[in-house]
Chain A
Amino acid sequence: MAAWVKGGATDAETAIAAAAALLAAAHAPVVTGLCAELAAVRAAFHLAGTLGASLDTAGAAGTYAELGSLSRTGAMTTTPAEAAGRADAVLVLGAAPWDAPILRDIAAGAPSRGRAAGAERTILSIGGPGNGATRHVAYPAEAGGLALSVAHLRAFAKGHLAGEAAYADLARRLFGARYGVAVYDPAELGALGIEMLQGLVKDLNESTRFFTLSLSGPGQDRAVVPLAAWTTGQAPRVGFGRGVPEHDPWRFDSARQVRAGEADAALWLASLPSPRPDWLGTVPSVAIVGAGGPDAVAEAAEIVIAVGVPGESTGGALWNEGRATVTYRPATGAPAALTAADVLGRIRDRLTEKKGA
């Protein structure tokens, strides 16, 4: 398994020792990315606890847009399987969902069970370019953004605005659905838009059935959120600087911490492909990355350790978007010598030994 320290190739044990030394010297390290199998993420939380570090995820913008709304107003949600099996109307919000394979699957089918079984499926969209293949009825977005468009639509749905506007027509179509689903990307829609959408869906449920389907994005945030909850009782952005997990989405935004000079070391965990933070080279950093990936190179960080990629060279529990739950994905190729959980555990062991000595 490949490893590099300050640009020079080395063996894993030397890199692990160097990583432990780098992190032990820091006062306020951050553990970020968390785009990995759950065993590795769990090991990252335990390491952060030992280090007094804070944690952050690659998809935190979308995660907190979703959680912020959920925590205040609740949510009416459904799963991709239910949407594919029951929906006769699908409202696609924004541009991002059109790139999701799951939307293509939903658009290609028709409701086969429930109150809309046998009906045709209508795809409606606001502010989306479409994917060039899916037939849909498109409505333009407001110039002010997607959240504003949802608000405008909701005003018509509530009957507070009237007239022959495009959104009045869309509101009629939504109320005409027997089982409707609104699909969105939380990072694109934002906290204000999601809260407004959940309000609209509740209004629609006064007379029909309507749900939301939030797309999880490419990272593992959906799996990290429950893990963070069962480990710390909080959402992912927690810090252990005072020995107990403190949750603060603003304070523990790793990019902000580095920009403000508050973080003095970083550990980036990405055994699955994930965009490398542009600030990674500005602090002493350790990168634990998938072997064979674009970031498994000497210049990715001060210390780079390549590990097994879950679902390829190692097995691991990952978010399964189709089933809307965490499932185990076995290795499909030759098993890797090192997993991210091993590396993180061994760094932690070295830190614990150091403390005990």
Chain B
Amino acid sequence: MSVLTLREAPPERLDLLDITPLALSGLSEAEAARIPVGTTRRGLTLGDCFTVRLDRSDTLVIEGGSGRLDRVGAALSEGTIRVSGDVGQRLGEGMAGGSLHVEGAAGPFAGTGATGGLITIGGDAGDHAGGAVYAAKAGLDGATLVIRGRAGDHLGDRMRRGLIVAGEAGDFAGSRMIAGTLAALGVGDHPGFGMRRGTMLLGRHGAMSPTFVATGAHDLVFLRLLARSLRALSPAHADLAAGALTRYSGDLATLGKGEIWAAAA
């Protein structure tokens, strides 16, 4: 596997958009070291910040992370990237396939616009994880995003397809959701604000918006299928789906075809 080892905490934000196993597979180590990654007039290159060891394999390991590493795994289409540390904003932005694993925490907008593949964050995620960036049509758009720790506010904002599994999340989880599935063991206030369609599965939750109405408890085959599909990613979320749930319908301020399944109190 190829390894990039961070020499020291970067002096500025670095943009790793073009750093994927596929992009590096055709380059020599010297060529890769010359790829510009800096975002200021310092003009930093990959070799300035990392020691570069390439073996043309489909797995890339980034040793040593930093909250200043932006767009790690962005546009990844195949192969695997592992980061032993933190990353910055837009982890896996626009990713189409492959897998991306971060052992530490991620900045805001993780998984934004990702259409395929698996993103796993071992620690916490910033605001708008799986959410849309400024002026974008959609947030998560088909990929699977797993956050083992706590996500910030606006988790899955305007997500359109795919699955988000999070430990805890802040306020306005699933805001403006277009479609897709979001599961969290606990969220803050007003989940699903402005959601049009989509499914949310929640454990604890804060204040529910007045534009969601309880539609009772149901024993649906869908929930058993959801529990089965979640089992491989997180047994705790699968248990939540298999337990007693109350269904809320909303957001009635919009299309109102979304649903929140919340653990019965």
Q: Spell out A's residues near B (CB within 8 Å).
A: 27-28, 51-52, 64, 67-68, 71-72, 142-144, 147-148, 150-152, 154-155, 158, 160-161, 192, 195-196, 199, 239, 241-243, 246-251, 262
Contacts and interface: CB of A to CB of B under 8 A. Distances in A.
Interface string B21-44: 000000000000000101111100
A262 B12 contact: yes
B7 to A, nearest CB: 18
B256 A160 contact: yes
B253 A195 contact: no
Nearest to B42: A27
B191 to A, nearest CB: 12
A148 B11 contact: no
Given A148-B190, A160-B211, A262-B68, 5 more contacts: A72-B158, A154-B253, A195-B194, A250-B109, A250-B134
B210 A142 contact: yes
Contact of A161 (B11, B89, B211): B211
A interface, over-half SS: mixed
A71 B135 contact: yes
A54 to B, nearest CB: 9
A52 B43 CA distance: 11
A161 B40 contact: no
Contacts of B190: 144, 148
B89 A52 contact: no
Interface size on B, as a range, is 35 or more
Contact of A241 (B40, B108, B176, B210): B40
Contact of A148 (B68, B70, B209): B209
A246 B135 CA distance: 14
B211 A144 contact: no
Contacts of A241: 12, 38-41
25 contacts: A27-B41, A64-B134, A71-B134, A72-B137, A72-B158, A143-B207, A151-B253, A152-B209, A152-B253, A154-B211, A154-B254, A155-B210, A155-B253, A160-B211, A160-B252, A160-B256, A161-B211, A192-B172, A192-B175, A192-B176, A241-B12, A241-B41, A242-B40, A249-B134, A250-B134
A94 B249 CA distance: 28
Given A71-B134, A151-B194, A161 B12 contact: no
Interface string B226-265: 0000000000000000000000000111101000000000
Contact of A251 (B11, B13, B251): B13
B109 A27 contact: no
A148 B135 CA distance: 22
A152 B135 contact: no
Contact of B253 (A64, A196, A239, A247): A196
Contacts of B158: 72
A72 B139 CA distance: 12
A249 B127 CA distance: 14
Interface string B170-213: 00100110000000000001100110000000000001011100
A192 B210 CA distance: 16
Contacts of B89: 250-251
A116 B199 CA distance: 44
B134 A68 contact: yes
Interface in B38-89: 38-42, 68, 70, 89
